Structure formats: C-alpha cells, structure tokens
Amino acid sequence: GQQLNQSPQSMFIQEGEDVSMNCTSSSIFNTWLWYKQEPGEGPVLLIALYKAGELTSNGRLTAQFGITRKDSFLNISASIPSDVGIYFCAGYMEYGNKLVFGAGTILRVKS
C-alpha cells in the first residue's frame, strides 16, 4: 500500500491561480523529491529537499521539507496551461533505503 499520502487527488484550476499540494506519512524520510509526469513520459524531477525545514524554489515552484521529516508540500504560483500533468511526491525512507512514491496529484488548468 501507499506509504505516502498525497493530496489532493486532483485539481482543476483557473490559469493564474496558485496551487498547493502536500504529502504526509507516519514514517520519517531523509529526502523528499517532487516530480512531474506528462502522458507517455517518465517522471521528471522538479525539486529535491535534503534537510528538515528546507525551503527550495525552482522558478514558480516552491517546496518545503517538513520539520517533523514526515511531510512535504509543493506550491506552484501563477499557474499556466503547460503546468498540466501529474505531480508526485517521493521520499527515501529513513529505514530500508526505499524510494517510495505518493499516488499523485492530477493538475488541470483552464485558460
């Protein structure tokens, strides 16, 4: 089963709006990664977070590594049509070294 709880499951927003999604777990993670996947392609890395409390930006994207090391969020500001896709959180578990993924957030943008 899923070890990462990602929400929301999907979003349908107006172009220009800000977007926020998050991942939580009962387990501790050493690293959080955020990916975007488009149809027919593999997930593409957006942001990597390595320390609790770390806040990192990549253009209009901002992500944070939760203080408890059990959660992370991703914000997208001023969404545009090309932001459409599925966004995944992923994390390396503290024990077992596994890189596990959330179920994904489907983002649709109407222009």
Partner 1 sequence: DAGVIQSPRHEVTEMGQEVTLRCKPISGHNSLFWYRQTMMRGLELLIYFNNNVPIDDSGMPEDRFSAKMPNASFSTLKIQPSEPRDSAVYFCASSLRWNTEAFFGQGTRLTVV
* DSSP classification of residue 9: S
Asked if 26 touches partner 1 (CB under 8 A), the answer is no
Q: How far is the CB of 106 from partner 1 (least distance, A)?
A: 11
Residues paired with residue 72 on neighbouring β-strands, in sequence order: 23, 65
Scanning residues 84 to 103, which ones bind partner 1 (CB under 8 A)? 88, 90, 92, 96-103
By the 10 Å C-beta count (0-12 exposed, 13-18 middle, 19+ buried), 25 is classed as buried
Among 7, 30, 62, 77, binds partner 1 (CB under 8 A): 30
Asked if 66 touches partner 1 (CB under 8 A), the answer is no
**Nearest-5° Cα angle at 89, 87 to 93:** 165
Interface residue list for partner 1 (CB under 8 A): 2, 30-31, 33, 35, 40-45, 48, 50, 88, 90, 92, 96-104
